[in-house]
């Protein structure tokens, strides 16, 4: 029996990657980096180096995916190359830490940002409600989840462009 699997479009998959980079990289980690490192050239160098390391990792995954074309990602690679136990442990760690922790951090960061606008709102309740809302939205249907992902990513990109434009505008105003 052939199962009908839901598929995401290339635009949706691309928006997931872009949103992940913006959400965890720009809106979460960059603030902590700027607190500790005051040299902007050093920050830019770190980001360029990190991008090159990430690109190398993507090339490695692409090569492994061509050698082991079954679904399962890291689980499949480690199970096939080393041992099924390593594949299981990798999958377990990804499910409990690799996916849950970034989602929690992003939702918590959104709660912190939201609290600066509305101080009476609880950070934890905001984070909880955001996770539940987006989880329910994504589980309704592939098209609904994909559409939401594209719209949310577009809003993030527009927000960053707005920050850039504001910075450029205020930079030209300073003597």
Q: Binning pLDDT at 50, 70 and 90, where does residue 124 land?
A: very high
Round the average pLDDT of the chain to a whole number and report it. 84
Q: Which two tokens stand for residue 80?
A: 């096939």
Distance of CA 82 to the CA centre of its chain: 28
More confident: 74 or 29: 74
- Residue 118 phi, psi (nearest 5): -125, 95
pLDDT one-digit tens code per residue, 61-114: 889 989 888 887 888 888 989 989 998 998 888 888 888 888 888 889 889 989
Instruction: Provide the 8-state DSSP code for 83.
Output: -
CB of 22 within 8 A of CB of 157?
A: yes
Structure confidence by residue, pLDDT tens digits, 40-68: 788 888 888 988 998 999 899 889 989 88
Q: Which residues of 27-50 are buried (b: 16+ CB within 10 A; e: fewer)?
A: bbeeeeeeeeeeeeeeeeeeeeee
Rounded mean pLDDT, 149-166: 88
Kindly tell me if the per-residue pLDDT of 5 is higher than 70.
no
pTM, two decimals, is 0.66
d(CA 42, CA 48): 10
Which residues make Cβ contacts (< 8 Å) with residue 91, sequence separation at least 6?
A: 72, 74, 75
- Give me the pLDDT at residue 6, please: 58
The owner of tokens 């249907």 is 141
- Which pLDDT value is given to residue 167? 80
Mean pLDDT over residues 30-36, rounded?
A: 73
- pLDDT value of residue 130: 94
Mean pLDDT value of segment 142-169? 87
């Amino acid at each position: 029996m052939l199962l009908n699997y839901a598929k995401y479009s290339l635009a949706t998959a691309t928006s997931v990657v872009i949103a992940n980079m913006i959400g965890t990289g720009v809106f979460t980690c960059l603030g902590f980096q700027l607190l500790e490192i005051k040299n902007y050239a050093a920050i830019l160098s770190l980001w360029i180096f990190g991008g090159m390391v990430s690109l190398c990792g993507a090339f490695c995954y692409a090569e492994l995916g061509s050698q082991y074309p079954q679904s399962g990602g890291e689980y499949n690679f480690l199970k096939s190359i080393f041992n099924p136990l390593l594949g299981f442990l990798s999958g377990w760690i990804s499910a409990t830490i690799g996916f849950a922790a970034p989602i929690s951090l992003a939702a918590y960061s959104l709660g912190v940002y939201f609290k600066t606008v509305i101080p009476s709102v609880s950070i934890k309740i905001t984070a909880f409600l955001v996770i539940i809302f987006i989880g329910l939205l994504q589980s309704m249907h592939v098209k609904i989840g994909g559409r939401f992902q594209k719209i949310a990513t577009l809003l993030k990109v527009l927000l960053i462009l707005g920050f850039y434009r504001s910075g450029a505008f205020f930079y030209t105003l300073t003597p």
